[in-house]
Structures are given as C-alpha cells and as structure tokens.
Structure 1
C-alpha cells in the first residue's frame, strides 16, 4: 500500500511533496531504476541537476512509470559552469531537452557563485515570468547569500536547498526562511550514514520502533523541512519513505535538536563563495 505523502504550499501557491528522492551520484540504468522504484513506492518529488549528468535517465524513468506528469514534481539545477544570464537561459533549455518533459517544476541556482549569481538569478526570474517553470529557487544559500539576493531579486525564492540534518541543525537559517516564506529543503539529510551508530539516535530508533534514518527524516518533516534522501537501493528507498505512520513527540524533537555539531559532509558555502 502506498503511504500518504505530505505536501507543502510554496510561496507562489503551488504544491510540493515534502519528501523526495535525491539522485546525486547515480548514473545510467542505476539512476533510471532508482527513480522507477521510488515512484512505485510512492515518491512524487525527484531532485536532479545538470551537474549530476543523469537528467536523460530521470526523464526516461518518469515517462516509463506511466504516472501522470501533473502528479510529479521534478527539480533540476543550473550547473556552476553554466551560470550567467545568457548561459543560464541556454542551460535551462538543455535541461528541459534532456529531461524531455513538458515542463520543469522547480529550477534552482545550484551554488552561489560570486561573479555570476546575480545574473543567474535574473535569468531564473525571466524563465519564471515566461511561464516556463512552475517555481524558482536556490541551493546552498546561507543567510548572507539570501540577504544579498534580496537587494536585487524581484522574486523571493520558493525553495532553498541546503545541507541540513540533526548534526547540522541550521536553526537560524530555518527561522529566516520561514519568516521569508522560503521552503527549506535538506539534502544529505542522512549525513551519508556517518552518524547512524550514534547511541542517542539508536535509543530513539528503538523507542519508536523505527530505523535511525527514519527518525532523522521524520524529525526534518516535523520541522516543516522538505527532505530528499538519496538511495539507489530498493530496500532503503522504501525505508526512507516509511515515515508517515508515526510522530516524534515534542520532548524528543527538542532532544534531537541538540545533536547539532556543525557536521558537514559537503563543503561549507561560506568558505567557497
């Protein structure tokens, strides 16, 4: 039985599933198969990027699934090497060609590249104003980048996708995004398995009769954070989606909030840009 998905309404009124599948570091048939499994399991949000070099396979899986396009939410992102106004317009066209779908639901600036991020955002605004994408947003934008964008952007990003987990609990960024009506979305929410043996997490997993991964994903969802765990393994894909039949109580949510140790598995955007 397909479990009921949770949805959020973005700041432009469109609906987005809160839980999706990330497809970073998946290629060829593995990427296609993972998406097919996810869609069969009940996922309706698939997150890819030009940088991942698997947009063709993602598009193939979407069509092969037979699921109506309107039921799905497809995200992709402009590659760092393709940023800039004209380059981004071309990059969007290329992503749409590779995905081979009628429209893209969400298009993101993948990283806040200093010399191009303003022109890149302006290109996203153009694409959105022309009705070619349902929503636009950013990725890896911490508060200083969002503050800067606000000085030149005419549209508030619908989504900000960042590394976020109990071990990297960016509470100030979450509150900032909530205030600005920007949906925060977590990538690498499971810290690539590097904290699954944390005794504090294992205790809660036993208490709720769930896996450590399920506890982490449920914690994010209860904070109103969209989350896109990556897996190409059918059992893990199913496990990561089996988080809608329980709720973490307020006391335990507060305890998980204290797991923060500024632990990153991806580069800190502030140090790069």
Structure 2
C-alpha cells in the first residue's frame, strides 16, 4: 500500500483530535488520563462545541488539563469545581457545555459535600470522575476509594476497615440523587471499553446541553506509579480487583 493510499480518509482509523495541543504530556506512561483527554476532545469536536465548551480544571494529577485540550478552562479550588465554578459558569452561560474533570481525592474527599449538593440540585453539568483508588500526585496515599486490603503510602499493611473505614462509592451515591440524569461507570483499558466510555461521555454532554440535569461519568483507572506496577500489570490488577468492587455499566439513566 502506498503512502497516498494509507492517508486516504477511508483508510484513516486513528488520528489526534484537533482540540488536543502538541504539548508533551506529564502523565506517567500507562496512565489513563491521556486516553480520557482524547475522548473528551473527540466528543466536543463531534458535537461542534469547540468554541462553547468550558472545562473546570481540578487539583491533582490532571491540574494541567488545560495544557492539552484547546478549549476554555477555569481552575477551581480543591474539591470546589462542581458547586461553585461549574454551577456559576453554566448558570451565567446556559448555552455552554460545562464539565469538571476530577480525581477521587478531589471529588470524593475534600469535595464530597460539594459534589453531592451540585448533583442533587440537578445542575446541567457533567462531572468526569477519574477513580484510581489512590492519591497519585502527592505520593500514593490512601484515598477514599482505596480498596480494602490495598496497600498505599499511608496504609502500608493494607486498608483496614476497623481503622480507615470502607471505600466510598460516590457513583452509587450519585445515582440515588433526584437531580442526576445519567450516572455511569466505565473504563479505558481496552478498545471496547474506550468505545463505551466515549459513548457515555457523549450522552452525558448531550444531557447537560438539553437541560436534563446533572451527569456523572466515573472512569475506573490505573495508577501504575502509585501502585508500583507496570502498565500491563496495573490493567490486570484493575480488572481483577477494582472491577468487582466498582462494577462497570450504567447506574442511572432517566431516559
């Protein structure tokens, strides 16, 4: 096959989204963030919302998300992305596609109350929730989502429920709230999973634009640096240990 034949539109199976900048990513090799960034960029472009999207940048590994996606961004204080910033942006500019991008520490620890109240109010926003069960940026400490028995820098012998309590299932909590329209849990470890995750992000974004209420898309992810594993081993560990506790699929869909 010639070079000309390879680059024909009908032969093109993969390309970088136009909304993704050329900046080198700071994420660790094997990290799930880059894949999710790509999906968000693709969905925004396919919806034709390039000039009408506002992302709320988090605190944590993805704090520099604005370096990679060429859309409008606003940073938020730790945990305050949904109730304060995203809510304000969407209410001031209801024609904008507004989403937050948060890790489990940002969303499920310091942002627990903020997340719950924003979702319960039915704000027309989408929360992208990256759950890797650990604090990746600050040294691998135990997170609210850390599994029972899972070892971290602050629970080196494993999470003990008698000391640390149980892992927090924020997505299940979100599904019980009256204001949520679509609540789902996905992953990006395989091609099939990536396709499902992209479909879920698209549905959530469309719901927020159609005034149907709040949407939460959890992505069960890996942190091979924090877990001290290779990328391949991290994916295998996630499938074996994370998925049974955080099962994939839609938890709520008002449609």
TM over 0.5: no
Q: Which has the higher helix share?
A: 1
When the two structures are superposed, what TM-score results if normalisation uses the length of structure 1?
0.35
